[in-house]
Amino acid sequence: MIRMNPILNKDLDGKKVLVIGLGITGVSLVEFLARQKVDIIINDCKDEAALSPILEKLQDIRCRYILGKHPETLKEAGEPDMLIPSPGVPLDIPIISEAKLKKIPVLGEIELAYKHMQAPILAITGTNGKTTTTALVGDMLKRAKMKTEIVGNIGTAAISKIEQLGQEAHCVMEVSSFQLETIEAFRPKSAAVLNITPDHLNRHKSFEKYAQLKFDVFSNQTAKDYAVINADDETCLKMLTKQEVKSKVILFSRLRELEEGVFLKEGKVLIKEKHQDTIVIDRDRILLPGDHNLENAMAAIGLAWSAGVPLKAIRDSLEEFKGVEHRIEMVDCVNEVTYINDSKATNPDATEKAVLSVKRPIILLAGGMDKKSNFGGLIDRFDDRVKQLVVYGETADKLVEDCREKNFYSVTKKRDLEEAVRYAYQVASPGDTVLLSPACASWDMYSDYEERGNHFKQLVSQIKRK
């Protein structure tokens, strides 16, 4: 039986909850809390004018607003009994620091959702491939006629689907490092870490902390649960030896045969458990292109297998699943030049995977908000693949400097994405691929990678009409 409008906790009836951030997650939190016996306080750094469409959506909800900045103190915020920051809100702002010091709960949205759902969770985290793998796992479960909700960092807050996540359902959840910063009891039935490479160091300060956050997805699991881990990823293996993982480990590898797990052998993807091999699919029949997507597929197989998904549903999904928007997405072919949208590549490792996956020669469009990333490894992969790099945004000068240090001089700086696309159109030759794969966050110019990707597609459509 599904619990409708579950209350947070008997002890919280009538108490104050401060929601910080009014993005997708924040709005879903407010809508959920409005159905509880809770006094809601909403805070966002944006002012009333900037938030006008969202505030209109919430106009029937009884709450108090603090807009234009974060309150400096708990007193200024009205002495809340609990703080729920959205994932994009840094946890070192003064009011959160004060709350932690005073032992006032600081709870994340996925933790809150976990406390109120009955469905088993299949959680996917890692630096790259999360969205593709999450969507693929969800597709596998749906093909098996299993009631499934796909939520989390993929774009739908888990808290918005609470009423649908009863015992008969499955929750497939993309989880970011930002979300894992605020978990306490969160315990997925199955969880996967796809890979770990440097990212979000401007927030997490060190790679070690970032890697630990990823592995925290396993922290509350027991021997009854499953941990799907990339055996080809050096950091994943180091973390596995460093940290006790109590759940049953399912390794996956595209490079070597495993004693148990999911791996590639003689062109076929196999599952091996208790010394018995099960052929899942021929590699050539997996529709998603590239080695990185083979790894994503193997992780999805491990998760789906642990959830009891029949082999036929897994195989059908792998043969037919086309991928997700903004991830190596074919946009159009104009004058024999292919335009590909990979706006979801928000770090150098993701862009490297795109560069190795698409048809050469490549005119690469990159740049955006600086996350303190190192671009040297990406530039090393250019070789004869990238014939021209067009940079823009906050990191443009850093990209130019890193290219010079690597003796790559075919780089041009433009003011913004529109100028970059226009320039790429001018210099492209038939057979080239113009690849938007920014290697940076979008927040210097766009609200998110989706807005950036949609703008790119709009610019390409304008080119086609010329």
Binding residues, as ranges, are 126-132
Q: Distance between CA 70 and CA 358 in Å, rounded?
A: 43
Q: Distance between CA 338 and CA 180 in Å, rounded?
A: 38
Q: Distance between CA 16 and CA 71 in Å, rounded?
A: 15
In SS3 terms, the chain reads as CCCCCCCCCHHHCCCEEEEECCCHHHHHHHHHHCCCCCEEEEEECCCCCCCHHHHHHCCCCCCEEEECCCCCCCCCCCCCCEEEECCCCCCCCHHHHHHHHCCCCECCHHHHHHHHCCCCEEEEECCCCHHHHHHHHHHHHHHCCCCEEEEECCCECHHHHHHHCCCCCEEEEECCHHHHCCCCCCCCCEEEECCCCCCCHHHHCCHHHHHHHHHHHHCCCCCCCEEEEECCCHHHHHHHHHCCCCCEEEEEECCCCCCCEEEEECCEEEEEECCEEEEEEEHHHCCCCCHHHHHHHHHHHHHHHHCCCCHHHHHHHHHHCCCCCCCCEEEEEECCEEEEECCCCCCHHHHHHHHHHCCCCEEEEEECECCCCCCHHHHHCCCCCEEEEEEECCCHHHHHHHHHHCCCCCEEECCCHHHHHHHHHHHCCCCCEEEECCCCECCCCCCCHHHHHHHHHHHHHHHHCC
> 318 with 279: CB under 8 angstroms?
no
State the binding site for ATP.
126-132
Q: Distance between CA 5 and CA 278 in Å, rounded?
A: 43
> 306 with 228: CB under 8 angstroms?
yes
- Which candidate, 68, 73, 57, places its Cα nearest to that of 24? 57
Contacting residues for 304 by C-beta, under 8 A, at least 6 apart: 137, 140, 141, 313, 314
- Which candidate, 60, 88, 73, places its Cα nearest to that of 18? 73
